[in-house]
Amino acid sequence: MKSTEIPFLMFQAFFHASIRIQLNWQRLKIEKITVKITVFDQLENPSAWYLPWYFNNLYEEVSYLESNANPLTLADIPKAINRLDSGRRDKIQELLNEFINTTQQPVQLVIATYALPNGKHLIMDGNHRSSALILAGVKARLMVFEICGPIDKELIPDLCHWKN
């Protein structure tokens, strides 16, 4: 697997309208970050891919701001799916049906992530698609656009759950 570096403005042009988590686009422009594109022939190690969705200690979905909020990983999805907000669950189910019923494999996805420490990733765009992919168990190819920058909650508030 080989990564290719691209200009931040290309990333912004592609994802600005689709990333729904809070992201300080202006600050990212001036930070010393890099953006890489990597193609994965399969989604390896689902526990290294974090979603901007959080459960508390009672396994209830909560805001990232809650003191006991724990981010979900793609590995958590099979057990957590029935506890997710109904809108998320319905969207994942719709995509799951598409992935299972498609004759075109591998399923190809484009997602945006932020690099976390120790080779982990915060998925910023493609959460529902990635979750459905885990549940579908089909062959996949992912094109991952990943921002590599500081772990700073001023850039992305969700980063308050990680440290450099």
Q: What's the pLDDT tens digit per position in 85-112?
A: 999 999 999 999 999 987 788 999 999 9
Q: Say yes or no to pLDDT of 164 above 70.
A: no
pLDDT at 117: 96
Residue 163 has pLDDT above 70, yes or no: yes
Q: What is the pTM of this model?
A: 0.94
Cβ-contact 84, 61 below 8 angstroms:
yes
Cα distances from 39 to residues 76, 129, 131, in angstroms, run: 23, 16, 18
Mean pLDDT of all residues in 22-42 = 93
| Average pLDDT score over residue span 114-137 | 96
Give pLDDT tens digits for 1-20: 789 999 999 999 999 999 99
- Residue partners of 141: CB distance under 8 A and separation at least 6: 39, 40, 41, 42, 106, 107, 108, 109
Q: What would the mean pLDDT of 24-44 be, rounded to a whole number?
A: 92
37: left (phi over 0), alpha (psi -120 to 50) or beta: beta
Average pLDDT of the chain, as a whole number:
94
